[in-house]
A and B are shown apart, each in its own frame.
Chain A
Amino acid sequence: MNQPMTITLAQKAGPRLSLAVGGLVLAILLALPLLHLLPADSALHVSAYTLTLVGKILCYAIVALALDLVWGYAGLLSLGHGLFFALGGYAMGMYLMRQSAGDGLPAFMSFLAWNELPWYWYGTSSFLWAMCLVVLVPGLLALVFGYFAFRSRIKGVYFSIITQALTFAGMLLFFRNETGFGGNNGFTNFRTILGFDITAQGTRAVLFLCTVALLTGSLYLGFRLARSKFGRVLTALRDAENRLMFCGYDPRGYKLFIWVLSAVLCGLAGALYVPQVGIINPSEMSPTNSIEAAVWVALGGRGTLIGPLLGAGLVNGMKSWFTVAFPEYWLFALGALFIVVTLYLPKGVIGLLRKEKEQ
């Protein structure tokens, strides 16, 4: 009689412990912006640097979560998610540029001696329209790309290579001055957002809170999806697509839905990233960025929802420490980390934690 008792208790402790840890992390994240508002000489004051750094990592965590939805669940490894992130960022950047330019043209356009805005800049002075673009541009691009890729049954490594080519093409396009997005300098020197000073403590705090809200929302959505029949169909799709088709499911719709959702989440993360970091340029679309996102997911543990968040946090935390302490060695450290995870932690950090708990 005793044994089943302990087993059920242990099983109950598992989710409770996770919930407690999750709640604690959330509380800290909510406290950070408030502590930032304290006077600078207070012992508990959180500096703008720390707040921005954590905010940036949270944006990356959303990307990791979005990538995990397509890779970990549906088995589609995208090496081009940086493109969707950057497009969301650029859409937000357009609005911020218009804000700082007032009634005139954004600075880089005057520099190119342009007299009027290109057509796709119309309406970007409206925050609402910019928000629509943040969702629509990555969403529509993903929809069109996904429709053709999934219709042609492109999968596996071919799919990864094509997504990488896509983000590379995007980067080359945005590097050109003629494209109208500021060329290789991208957008910077933002001043205000919705009329508020973008570097003010209050604005930073609100942006940070929005990021926390988006992350929590994405996580909740991820949980709901993973627990639904839809999530189970995705897992089935990853493991045995043929079997699923002979069960009467059309994989295309399922892939397209999760693919577009993931792209939109990335776009939203990019839109929150830009005002916090204060710059967006085409290097965000470089394939290495997208590959790094895949490293976060693999390191944290794909096919779980918490894993990618841990991975994004760990890698970026280490990155910011390393690039200060030993700047030359960061890439070696990243490479070594990836090898260690591949060899010893096939299920990522989360797999390690779970194993500890089981023992």
Chain B
Amino acid sequence: MRAAPIPEALLDPNRDPGGSREAVGLGSSAGKGLDVRHGTILTLEDINVSFDGFKALTNLTLYIGVGELRCIIGPNGAGKTTMMDVITGKTRPTSGSAFFGETLDLTRLSEVEIAQAGIGRKFQKPTVFEALSVFENLELALKTDKSVWASLRARLSGAQKDRIDEVLHTIRLDGSRHRPAGLLSHGQKQFLEIGMLLVQEPQLLLLDEPVAGMTDAETEFTAELFKSLARKHSLMVVEHDMGFVGTIADHVTVLHQGSVLAEGSLEQVQSNERVIEVYLGR
């Protein structure tokens, strides 16, 4: 595979990543075709979502930089999952703008188009194709032509098989490749779903509570995995487990009642008066 050409602007050592925006553009390998001139891969501005009068998101503004690993924390009902729904096209905002790169308007694309454009999502509850084997799960997720005609005639190439094998190894499921995914343990399903995201080769990964229900060892391994993914991909991780957030995050955003309460490193956020108030009760 040919590496994407690196835009010259990104190579400038004095470059201010994201301009006046708060995104931290660490990486340099955004995929082909995506315009990331300003170092932001995801731009959410003044997003409002309301369900029957209940305001799930209020003037939410958030930027994710290219190659960044961003953690989103916040109490229950803060709007974390709704925000992911907006990004993936599942929920349409009542107002506000959402852009992937500089030009792709997420509020106008369908869920499928957004997925094809390069945003992958892991659900809160692990969702895999239970009747299919682990290998077949990865085969379906693999980045390729996903039209009906292509599927009717699809054959895996050697390179594609190698790619699946590689990911199977990464997520430590080599031994279970032919097991039906429905028989995997909870933690294994989580890993399989992460593996499916990997073979899909998205540029932005949205991960909703990826370590929920994992053992300590699995959590530790996931942290390693995510750290190795950052820079090559951009990651947005919603997580409750503060220990986990502390190990992986370079940048944390706290959501509360549908908007951003605080942003910064974990220590900064944890010492923020308002965050303490929200988490410990007033």
Q: Which residues of A does B touch, CB under 8 Å?
A: 225, 228-230, 232-233, 235-236, 238-240, 242-250, 253-254, 257
Contact = CB atoms under 8 A, between A and B. Distances in A.
B38 interface: no
18 contacts: A228-B151, A228-B152, A228-B154, A230-B154, A233-B140, A235-B129, A235-B132, A236-B132, A238-B131, A245-B111, A246-B120, A246-B121, A247-B115, A248-B115, A249-B112, A250-B112, A250-B146, A253-B148
A233 B148 CA distance: 9
Dominant secondary structure of chain A at its interface with chain B: helix
B222 interface: no
Given A228-B151, A229-B154, A248 B146 contact: yes
Interface of B: 88, 111-112, 115-116, 120-121, 123, 127-132, 136, 139-141, 143, 146-148, 151-154, 196, 200
Contacts of B148: 230, 253-254, 257
A228 B200 CA distance: 20
Contacts of B88: 246
Given A239-B130, A243-B127, A246-B111, A232 B120 contact: no
Nearest first, the 3 closest Cβ-Cβ pairs linking A and B are: A229-B154, A248-B115, A236-B129
Contact of B115 (A225, A229, A246): A246
A244 B131 CA distance: 13
Nearest to B127: A243
A243 B112 CA distance: 10
A232 B127 contact: no
B141 A247 contact: yes
A350 to B, nearest CB: 15
Nearest to B199: A247
Given A229-B154, A248-B116, A249-B146, A239 B111 contact: no
Given A230-B152, A232-B136, A246-B111, 16 more contacts: A228-B151, A229-B139, A229-B151, A229-B152, A235-B129, A235-B131, A236-B140, A240-B129, A240-B130, A242-B123, A243-B128, A244-B129, A246-B121, A248-B116, A250-B147, A253-B147
Contacts of A253: 147-148
Nearest to A228: B152
Contacts of A249: 112, 140, 146
Given A246-B121, A248-B146, A229 B131 contact: no
Contacts of B129: 232, 235-236, 239-240, 243-244
Contact of A230 (B112, B151, B200): B151
Nearest to A236: B129
Contact of A247 (B132, B140, B152, B153): B140
Given A232-B132, A239-B129, A239-B130, A244 B152 contact: no
Nearest to B117: A248
Contacts of B120: 246
Contacts of A250: 112, 146-147
